[in-house]
Structure 1
C-alpha cells in the first residue's frame, strides 16, 4: 500500500489525486464506524494526524515537481543550444570552398558538406553519412570523372588509396576530367577520426604549367645563346634522326652552308656532307657511325676524329634521354700541331732523361755497394773486435782480487767499465748494421708482458738507484704479439735513455690499453726535448745537448728503437714538455685467443765462482789470445784445461791422450775444416753426449737455430765471466 502511495513513477498530479482519495475513504470509514468506548474518537485523531502527514508529503511532492520542471526547462535550453551549435557547424562547413567529410574512429562517415565529391557528379549523391571509408574509396575509384594513371585499374588505385589512409597525414593530387585537379588531404582527429578535405587546385596547376613553360622558354633561349657563344659546333638530332637544333659554328667547321642545316634535316644529309669533305679517324668507319646513329636506344658514347686538309675536328656523340643524340665538333688543329711539336721535344727529352737515369742508376748502384760494404765492414769489424775484447775481459777477470792494490783495483774497475761501454757500442753497431742491411729477421709470437716488465725492472733498478732516481714499473698481465728480443731491446734503450738524461725525480714504465692494442709508455722527469729536435734525436750518433762518446753513449739507442719499431710494425710516438719531462710510446697489438706466450730468457745473472776442482775442460778456439785468456780464467777457478786451435787437432789430442774431458768450450768458426757444432756432433757420435757450449760473436738467428736443433748451449762473445761461471755451476 505504501508503495502504491509513494510510487515515484507517478506524476505529481496523480500522486496528489491518490492522497485525496485516501483521505476521503478514511473519513467515510470514520463516520460509519461507531465506537461506544471512544474508539471512534481515537480513529478521528489518527485520521487528523494522517491528514497532516499527507499534506506535508504533498508539499514535498510539489517542491520536487518544481525542481523537475526547472530541470526540464534547462534540458530544453541545452538541447536547443546543441541544435543551434550543430546548425552553426553545418553552416560553417557548408560555407568553406573545399569538400569536407568527417569519419569517426570506426571509419564511418559522420557528416559531409554539399561540396564533398563535387567533381564526381556520378557518385556525389552516394556520398552520405553512414557510408564506410572503404565504400567511399570504391565509389570514387569507379567514377568516370577521375583520370587514373596510365595502365592502372580502379581496383589497384583503390588499394593504393587505402594503404595511404593508414598514414596519419595524407596529401596528394588527383587529375579529373576536363583538365581539372583536386588536392585530397587527410588529417587525424584527437578521437581517432579522420577529416577529409577536397580542394580544387586547377588554377594553381595551370599557373605552374605556365610558369614552367616560361622557364623552359628562358632556358631554351639561354641554351641557344650558349650554343652560339661556345667555340664548338653542336647539332642535336631527335629520335627520328631529324635535326632539332644546331649553332652557326657547326656550318663553319664542316664547311656546310647554313641553308643546308635547317630544322628537320635528316642525319643522312649531314653524314653525306661529312664523307665528301673529311676523312674519319682510325678505329671507326662511316658505316659503323651510321649504324650507331640508327640504333633505337642504348647508344654508347662515341668519340672519333674528322680530318680535312686544313683542319682536324674532334667529334663526341652521346645519346639523350628522349632517344635522340647530340654531336659536338671541336677544332683541335692547333692542339694536334702542338702535340706533334711536343712529341718531338719529348723524344729529345726522353733521350736526355734516359741518359740521366743511367747515370743515376750507376750512382745508386755505387751507393748501394758502398752501403753494403759499410754494413759488411761494420759487421766484420765488430766481429773481429769482439775477439780481443773477449780476451781482454777474460784476462781482467783472471786477476786475483787479493793480489791487487786499492789503486790498481780502481784502475781495473775503470778498465772493466770502459770495456763494457765498448761492448755496448759494438752491439749497437751490429744492430744498426742488421737493421739497415735488411738482414734482420723477426719472429712474431705471443709474448707475456708481465715477465718482460719484471725483468726490465730488476735490470734497471740498480742503475736508477745509483743516480738517486725512483724507477716505477707498473705490472701488466696482457699478452701481445711481437718479437721478444727486439721488443726487449726497444724498452731497454728507452728506459736506459730515460735514466741517463734524468737528473732527479722518477722514471715510470707502464702499459695503457687501447682498442685491440697495448701502448707501452716510458715517462721521465728529465729536461724535455724541444719540438725542433724531436726528429733529429732518432738519427745515428746524435745526442741532445751532448757529444757522442764511449762513456756517455754514442747516440745509437733511439736510432735502433726507430728502426726496430718500423721492422716490427709497432707505431712509435713521442710527447715532451720542456722542463717537465718526456714520454716515449710504443703501440703493440694484443694477441687474440688463448695462444701460449713465449718464455723469455732470463737476463744474465751473477753466478758464484764454480767449485770445479778435478774437472777437465777442453777449449777449442782458433784465436790464440782468447784461448790463453779463457784458459787462465778456468785455471784460476781450479779447472784443468786442454786446448786446441782446430777441431782436427782436438780430435787427435783426445785420441792420443785417451781422456774425455768433463766439458767442451768450442768456437763456432774453427777454420775451413769444420764448425764447432760439427765438431761436437763428432764427439757425441764417438764418445756420447758431453756438456758443451758453442762460443761465437755472430748474433744472427741462424747459429741460434743450429745450436737449438743440436741441443747445444750458446755463449756470446765477448764472453761474460758470470755467464761462464753459471754454466760451470750447473754442470752435473
Structure 2
C-alpha cells in the first residue's frame, strides 16, 4: 500500500518528506490510543518497515542520480569533442585551395568550403547543407557563368553531368566565364556518399594552349622548310579556293611571276595561267581541272599533264580533309625525252631484229635442209649397208661349219661379234635419223605392259643369269597408250643397259600407278652415273669410261631412248648415286579413271581461298612483287618482306601472327629461309610454312620433311601454289 501514499513523479526529497510525516502521524496515534496497543504496534511495525524501504529507495535514487550526473558529464564532453572535430574539419577543408563538397548517401549536401562554387556567383549563395545534388546540377546548368560547349543546351549539360555522377570515380573539365577552366573530380565514399573537388586548371590549360600554338608554329616552319626543299612545285588552297601556301619550286616550274602566287590568290588565276600559257596533251584536261576546282562535293584525285614552254609537267591534285586541296607539279621533261629516245631505239632495234630474224630464218632453212639431207643419207646408207652386212654374216656362218681349229674359231667368233656391233650401230643410226627427220609415223595404240615386259624378260634373263645377277621383272596388269615399236625399243635399251653395266647385285623392273599414269622404273646396282654426266649420257656416242664402269656399247642407246620419249611425250627421269641407278618412264593409262575433286569449286573451276594472312620472305624484288600481286588477287593479305629481320620487325609492330609463311631458301647475306621459319616458330608457335627454291637437290626435300615444311620449285606453277594454300590455310568457320 505504500506505493499509494506517494506520487512517483515527485522528487525524492518530496517523497521522503511525505514518508516522514506519515511515520510521525502513526507514532502519535499509537501513543494516543493505548487500548488499541496491539493494533498500534502493528502499525508501528509497518511504519518501521516502510521507513526502511524509504531509506533503501532513497539510497538507490541517490546512486541513480550520481550515475545520471556522470552520464550528463560524459555527454557534455562528447558534444564538446564533436563540436571541436566539426570545427577542425571545417577549418581543414577551408584550408584546401580547391573547392570541396561532401554529399551523403542520400545525395544531400552535408558540408562544403567557401571555395566550392565561388566562380559562379549566382549559385554560390545557395550552396548550403541540405541542398539536393540534382538541384545543385540544375542550378549550375542554368548559371550565366557556365560556358556551355557549342550546340549543347543546359538540359543536355545537366544530363551529361548526372551521367558522370553515376560513375564510381569521374574526372572531367568544365569551362566557365572569363576564359577559366575547372577540373571536376568526383569520388564515391565507403558509405555511399560523394566527395567533389573543384580545381582551377586555367593556368595549366593556357600553358598547354601556348605550347600547342608553339608546336603548330614549329610545325608550320618545318612544313615550309620541307616544301622549299622539294623538287616538286606545290600549291595549297583552302576551302574557299584561296592560296594558303606555295613553294619557290612552283614558280620556277610554271615560270609564273611571284605576284600570281601570293597568299589569298584565287585558284582561278592558276587555272587561267595554265589555260593561256600551257598546252594540254589531252584536250579535256583543262575542262576537267576547272570542274574539279569549283566542285564542292568529295573529289577524287586528279592527274594530268601540261606543257609549259619546252618543259613537260605532270600535275596531281588531291582534296584535303578540310575541303581544301593540294596541287603538285613534277618536271618530267627528262623522262619524256628518255621515253622518246627509247621509242626510237626500240624502232631501230625492231628493225635490226627483223633483219636478223630473216637471216636466222634463212640459216635455219639451210640447216633444216642439211639435216634432212643428212637424215636421208644416213637412212639410205644404213639401208644399203644392211644387205652386204647380212651377206657377210651368212658367209661367216658357213665358214664356222667347216672350221675346227680352235684359234680360227675364236677369230671367227670375234669377227661375227664385230659384224653384230656394226649392225647395232647402223640400226641405231637409222632410228636416230628417223627421229631427227620429224617424219616418223607414230601409231598410238593400247599396249599391254605385262606382255611386252614378259617378252623382254625372256630375251634378257639368260644374259643376266650368265653374269650371276639377281634379275627380276614384276609384270604389271596395266594397259598404256603408246607406240608399241618405240616403247619396246625404249624399255629394251634401258633394261639391256642395266644388264650390261651391272657386274654384280640386282636388277629390278617394276611399275607404279600414280593417278592417271603409270611409271616404269628400272633399278640396278651398277657403279652409278656421276651427277655431272646425267645430261651428257643422252648425247650421241657419249660413253662413260671409268675404272668402275668399263666402256661397252656404242653410246647410242640412251640417245634413242631420250628422243623417242620426247617424240611420244613420255617424261624420262634419272636418279643415280654410287651403287644404285634408276631410270623411269611415265606413260598414260589407256582408260584412266576421271579423278573427282571433292573440293567444291566456284567461278573458273577454282576453289575459293579462306581469308588469311601470308608472310612472304623473298629477297628478289621482282618475284616478291609478282607473288604479292598473285596472292592478293586470290583475296589474301600479304606481308611482303625482303629478309627475316624485316619480317620479325613487321610482325612485332602489328602484333599479328601470320597463317602461312612462304620463304625463299637462299636469302641475302648467306641466310637461309629454313632458319627464318625456325625463328618465326619460336616466337609465334608452329606456323605452316613453305620453302621455294630453284635447287632440286634431294637433300633439300629431306630438310623440308624434317622441319615440317612444304617445298615448291622455281619457276613456281600457280596451280601448285594454289593447291598448297588450299591444303595449308585454315578453313573459315561459319
User: Taking structure 1 as the reference length, what is the TM-score of the superposition?
Assistant: 0.50
Q: Measure how far apart 1:108 and its partner are.
A: 2.2
Aligned to 1:68: 68
State the SS of the aligned residue for 1:299.
coil
Q: Using the TM superposition, give the Cα deviation of residue 222 of structure 1 relative to its aligned residue in structure 2, in angstroms.
A: 0.9
The correspondence of residues 129-148 of structure 1 with structure 2, limited to 5 A, is 129-148=129-148
User: In 2, distance between residues paired with 1:65 and 1:257?
Assistant: 111
Which residue of structure 2 aligns with residue 428 of structure 1? 512
Number of the residue aligned with 2:664: none
Structure 1 pair 63/157, CA: closer, same or farther in 2 (3 Å)?
same
1:160 partnered with 2:160 = yes
Contact 2:234 2:326 in 1 (8 A): yes
**Which residue pairs with 2:650 in the alignment?**
none
**1:244 maps to 2:311:** no
**What is the rounded CA distance, in whole Å, between the counterparts of 2:172 and 2:344 in structure 1?**
67
Secondary structure at the aligned position of 1:101 is classed as strand
Partner of 1:311: 311
Relative distance call for 1:285 and 1:427 in structure 2 (3 A) is closer
Aligned to 2:29: 32
Q: Separation in 2 of the partners of 1:342 and 1:381?
A: 61
What is the count of residue pairs matched by the alignment?
Answer: 430
Whether the aligned pair in 1 keeps the contact of 2:453 and 2:473 (CA below 8 Å) is no
* Structure 1 pair 444–118 and aligned structure 2 pair: CA distance change class (3 A): same
Given that residues 389 and 419 in structure 1 are in contact (C-alpha distance below 8 angstroms), is that contact kept between their aligned partners in structure 2?
A: no
Alpha-carbon distance in 2 for matches of 1:187, 1:179: 26
Question: Would the alpha carbon gap of residues 284 and 179 (structure 1) be closer, same or farther in structure 2, given more than 3 Å must change?
Answer: farther
What is the CA-CA distance between 1:252 and the residue it aligns to?
A: 1.0
The partner residue of 1:23 within 20, 28, 33 is 20
Q: CA 1:284 to 1:89, structure 2 compared with 1: closer, same or farther past 3 Å?
A: farther
Match of 1:125, SS state, is helix
Instruction: Tell me the distance in 1 between the aligned counterparts of 2:175 and 2:188.
Output: 24
Q: Comparing both chains, which one has the higher relative contact order based on Cα–Cα distances under 8 Å and sequence gaps of 6 or more?
A: 1
Distance 1:98 1:303 in 2: 60
1:248: Cα distance to partner? Answer: 1.2
Q: Deviations over 1:615-642 (max 9, x none)?
A: xxxxxxxxxxxxxxxxxxxxxxxxxxxx
Aligned partner of 2:452 among 343, 366, 385 = 385
Aligned equivalents of 2:3 and 2:456: distance in 1?
Answer: 136
Residue 581 (structure 2) pairs with residue 441 (structure 1): no
Is the partner of 2:517 in helix, strand or coil?
helix
Query: Equivalents in 1 of 2:705, 2:444: separation in Å?
Result: 25
1:649-685 CA-partner distances (Å, limit 9, x unpaired):
xxxxxxxxxxxxxxxxxxxxxxxxxxxxxxxxxxxxx
Aligned-pair CA distance for 1:223: 0.9
Q: 1:77 to 1:329 in 2, by over 3 A?
A: same
Query: 1:226: how far off?
Result: 0.9
Do 1:27 and 1:47's aligned partners in 2 also have CA atoms closer than 8 Å?
no
Could you report, residue by residue, the CA deviation over 1:369-406 in whole angstroms, capped at 9, with x for unpaired residues? 99xx9x99897251543887999xxxxxxxxxxxxxxx
User: What's the offset of the Cα at 1:220?
Assistant: 0.9
Give the 3 Å change call, closer, same or farther, for CA 571–288 of structure 1 in structure 2.
Answer: closer
Displacement of 1:225 in angstroms is 0.9
1:232-256 residue CA offsets vs partner (Å, 9 max, x unmatched): 1111222332222111111111112
- 5 Å-filtered alignment, 1:177-326, equals 177-282=177-282, 284-326=284-326
d(CA) in 2 for partners of 1:215, 1:331: 33
105 and 281 in structure 1: CA distance in 2 versus 1, 3 angstrom threshold: farther
Whether the 8 Å CA contact 1:5–1:18 is kept in 2: the answer is no
Superimposed CA distance per residue, residues 519-544 of structure 1 (whole angstroms, 9 cap, x where no aligned partner): xxxxxxxxxxx976737999xxxxxx
Residue 108 of structure 2 is matched in structure 1 by 108
Evaluate the alpha carbon distance shift between residue 429 and residue 28 of structure 1 in structure 2; reply closer, same or farther with a 3 A threshold: closer
For 1:62 and 1:82, the matched residues in 2 are separated by: 30
Q: Give the drift of 1:221.
A: 0.9
Matches within 5 A, 1:455-604: 534=702
Distance (whole Å) between structure 2 residues aligned to residue 173 and residue 189 of structure 1: 21
d(CA) in 2 for partners of 1:97, 1:533: 78
TM-aligned CA deviation for residue 189 of structure 1: 1.3
Find the residue that maps to 2:182 and give its secondary structure: strand
**Offset of residue 224 of structure 1:** 0.9
Say if 2:457 and 2:473, in contact at 8 Å, map to a contact too.
no
Q: Counterparts of 1:200 and 1:212 in 2: how far apart (Å)?
A: 20
The question of whether the paired residues in 1 share the 8 Å contact of 2:305 and 2:314 is answered with yes
Task: Tell me if the contact between 1:379 and 1:430 (Cα under 8 Å) persists in the aligned partners.
Answer: no
CA spacing shift, 1:88–1:429, aligned 2, 3 Å: closer
Report Cα offsets for 1:682-726 as digits up to 9, x if no partner.
xxxxxxxxxxxxxxxxxxxxxxxxxxxxxxxxxxxxxxxxxxxxx
Q: Secondary structure, in 3 states, of the residue corresponding to 2:126?
A: coil
> Does the CA-based 8 Å contact 2:285-2:304 persist in structure 1?
no
Residue 717 of structure 1 corresponds to none
Give me the CA root mean square deviation.
4.8
CA distance in 2, matches of 1:42, 1:3: 19
- C-alpha change, 1:23 and 1:445, in structure 2 (3 Å) is same
Say if 1:301 and 1:15 are closer, same or farther in 2 by CA, change over 3 A. same
Shift of 1:3: 5.9
> Deviation string for 1:327-359 (max 9, x for gaps)?
111112222333344556667889999999x99
User: Residue by residue, what CA displacement relative to the aligned partner does 1:38-74 show, whole Å, maximum 9, x if unpaired?
Assistant: 4434543443344334323322321221121111111
**Partner residue, 1:92:** 92
